[in-house]
Amino acid sequence: MFAVWTGIGVLEKDVLGAYRRWEASEQYHSEVKTEIGIERFPSGKFSTNHLILLLAMLVYNILRFIGNDLANRRLFGLRKATRRRVRTVIRYSMYMAAMVVVHARQTVLKLKTHKDLYASFCRLYALCRT
């Protein structure tokens, strides 16, 4: 049983919605700290730590995009889900065989992976180019 008492004149559903958003925020914060690996910052300088945090946010957002894109597909024997944790996305999408091929003055990245995962990378690349 769950009960909420407030004296601020807010509807119960609004309070519950705020708690759910807070809970999701805490989960994302936990993922950034543990799965991206920035529990502690490596430097004593603020500007260096700021740069590392910005790079970690970029990596996290890219992984979230790929995870959201792949959440409703049955890849690698995983069941359908509303969202994938970053660790799962890293495990199943980042640890794949790739080869850089230079031929006829063109550089090509060849990925040896599932076709849906390849399509997700192509969509991400197209978004980054625009």
Q: Write out pLDDT tens, residues 2-58.
A: 666 666 777 777 877 877 787 777 877 787 887 777 888 888 899 999 999 899 888
Domain assignment of residue 3, yes or no: no
Domain assignment of residue 118, yes or no: no
Burial class of residue 9 (count of CB atoms within 10 Å of its CB; 0-12, 13-18, 19+) = exposed
Domain assignment of residue 114, yes or no: no
Amino acid letter for position 9? G
Number of domains making up the chain: 1
* Residue 66 lies in domain: 12-96
Q: How large a percentage of the chain has pLDDT more than 90?
A: 8
pTM: 0.59
> Which two tokens mark 18?
């705020």
The residues, ordered by sequence, that sit 6+ positions from 121 with a Cβ below 8 Å of its Cβ are: 66, 111
The per-residue pLDDT for 46 is: 92
